[in-house]
Amino acid sequence: MLLRYILVVFVYFACVLSPLFPWFPSAHQSTAYINTYTAVFFVTVIIIGLLLLPERRMERSMRASWGESIAWAICGIFILYVLQIAAVLINNLILGQPLSSEHTAGIVKMAKTAPLFIFAVSVIGPILEEIVFRKILFGSLKKVIGFIFSAVISSLVFAAGHFDFSHLLIYFVIGFFLCYAYHKTGRIWVTMFMHAAMNTIVVLLTMNVQLTNTTGWIHWLL
């Protein structure tokens, strides 16, 4: 299992860092750049899916019922937004950080250029992040150091991995709640659903709504 997880993490970071590779199109946010990045996401999720295929045959104990898991998946989306509003208030009013996120703005700009990238960032991205940060990092650490410390470490790494350092608190809150949801349900698809739904809503709203001070709050949700 350890070797398989190491390979998964390696493949994930190869995906994230792929724009730095010599073969990647150099023109940032060009059509070729975005299409290549989209293809990398698709290939990555296929490879990781194959690597994790043996997980289906492993023991599945300590999991919430399907009804409870579905309730978590749906209600968790709304809980995420409430927590994020609280986090952005602290981040903006107390810490003095901006509401908008260049990270999210860049993603939305690429999505407008290549619509298939919307699926990559809204669905495939969250699936990969949940596997790496919740299932592997948090899940492995929890067996050794317990819930609190493993959730804190996982959430800090998750936040730092977005390279949006003025919004670390917000990403940390997102990551911590997703750790808690995974801890309570034992089903990684629950947090995948929450994360993917959140990203999809953000991208679609940002692409189709003329942002005001209120809608601007969605900028940092990715």
What are the catalytic residues?
Answer: 129, 162
CB atoms within 10 A of CB 215: 12
- Residue ranges in 66-132 assigned as alpha helix (H): 66-89, 102-113, 116-119, 125-129
Q: Determine contact, residues 151/180, Cβ cutoff 8 Å.
A: yes
If residue 213 lies in a helix (H) or strand (E), which one and from where to where? none
Q: Determine contact, residues 218/205, Cβ cutoff 8 Å.
A: yes
Q: How far is CA 101 from its chain centroid?
A: 15
Residue found by looking up tokens 């977005």 in the block = 162
Specify the DSSP class assigned to residue 93. I
Q: Report how far residue 9's alpha carbon sits from residue 133's, in angstroms, rounded to the nearest whole number.
A: 9
Tokens linked to 193: 């659903």
